[in-house]
Amino acid sequence: ATDVLRPDFETALAIRARSVEVALEKLLDDRVRNGEIVRPERLMAAMRHGVLNGGKRLRPFLVMESSALFSADKEPALRVAAALECIHCYSLVHDDLPAMDNDDLRRGQPTVHRAFDEAAAILAGDSLLTYAFEIVASEETELPPSTRAKLVAALARAAGHGGMAGGQILDLAAERRKPDEAGIIILQAMKTGALIRFACEAGAIIGNATPEDRERLAEYGAAIGLAFQLADDLLDVTADATSMGKATGKDAAAGKATLVSLHGVAWTKKQLHGLVEQAETLLEPFGADATLLKHAARFIADRQS
Ligand code: GRG
């Protein structure tokens, strides 16, 4: 059934990606912002390089689709989606730096510190992170002030020391001292899960959902966030299918502890299946309106890139 679903879902994802890219292009226009000429052209060029370079735009998709469940206005949701993508892209720009993963390529193109320099990459990441909060908090995001404040608080929690940045330092520490299963799950929930969870919860916040529905969307996001990371770990291990099952991906080659390295490929695939079912069950109350979000769960679990 997955093969039948895939083209429909991928088309919907591509359509949403295009609309978020148009929004991002406008937000990252180097010429004029708020009626003023923006001077640091090189910094803005580095920011654009880190953002407007392909990418699945999965997190924006989740914001848009989750908010649609509550019949929220599309424009404010699109701005929140674009802001979240700025934070995701900042994390990739910084993750690629020599102090972290030291990668030369991202999305098939030179990383920001390669195309510019390290200082520009650090500052582009910093600026994308702060810009995201400006976008969400701004009156141009036409949501009630209390809704914008809730979004800012939840986004800060997801991106900061208790979320993505905290998960990243746990991940770096894990190269020296291998975490146990519980440690791996916490690390992953923070490093990659927190932003994905936020994406889904944000839809409920934008749509002024009940606390129960907000929690339901957050739980759905947490389930697919873990599925996303498990799929990533599986891809890492199977990076070279010709190596007779030998691990060849970057993390596996570095001896990083993952649930795949602890329990193996078959166990992980079973877990993924369970997470997809859990995600679909959480969406049951929304009926047919949640069809694309259900497909998103399967897409994430089955993804090949
Ligand atoms: C530097 C604070 C800080 C955090 C970095 C996100 C992250 C934390 C590191 C990225 C390392 C990595 C490759 C993790 C695996 C999961 C992941 C985030 C993959 C990339 O996300 P996709 O597949 O990428 O959504 P695209 O390019 O489609 O946006």
pLDDT in tens, 136-194: 999 999 999 999 999 999 999 999 999 999 999 999 999 889 999 999 999 999 999 99
CA of 271 to the centre of ligand 1 (A): 21
pLDDT, mean over the chain:
92
Question: Which numbered atom of ligand 1 lies nearest the CA of 97?
Answer: 1
| Region of poorest pLDDT, from 81-85, 108-112, 173-177 | 173-177
Residues 8-37: pLDDT tens digits? 899 999 999 999 999 999 999 866 666 666
How many independent structural domains does the chain possess?
Answer: 1
Q: What is the pLDDT of residues 194-238, one digit of tens each?
A: 999 999 999 999 999 999 999 999 999 999 999 999 999 999 988
ipTM given for this complex: 0.92
Domain of residue 88: give its range: 2-302
Q: Say yes or no to pLDDT of 280 above 80.
A: yes
Per-residue pLDDT band for 39 (boundaries 50, 70, 90) equals: low
Residue 14 near residue 54 (C-beta atoms within 8 A): no
Tell me if 203 sits within 8 A of 217, measured CB to CB.
yes
**Which residue has the least CA distance to atom 7 on ligand 1?**
91
Say what the pLDDT of residue 250 is.
76
Torsion angle (degrees, nearest 10) of CA 96, 225, 52, 238: 60
Residues in the ligand 1 pocket, defined by CB under 6 Å? 55-56, 58, 91-92, 94-95, 107, 164-165, 168, 191-192, 232
Please classify residue 280 by burial: count the beta carbons closer than 10 Å to its beta carbon, then call 0-12 exposed, 13-18 middle and 19+ buried. middle
Q: In sequence order, what E strands does 130-220 have? A: none
Question: Residue 30: what pLDDT?
Answer: 67
The CATH number linked to 128 is 1.10.600.10
pLDDT of residue 305: 77
Ligand 1 atom with minimal separation from the 89 CA: 29
pLDDT interval class at 6 (50, 70, 90): low
- Give the atom of ligand 1 at the shortest distance from the alpha carbon of 56: 28
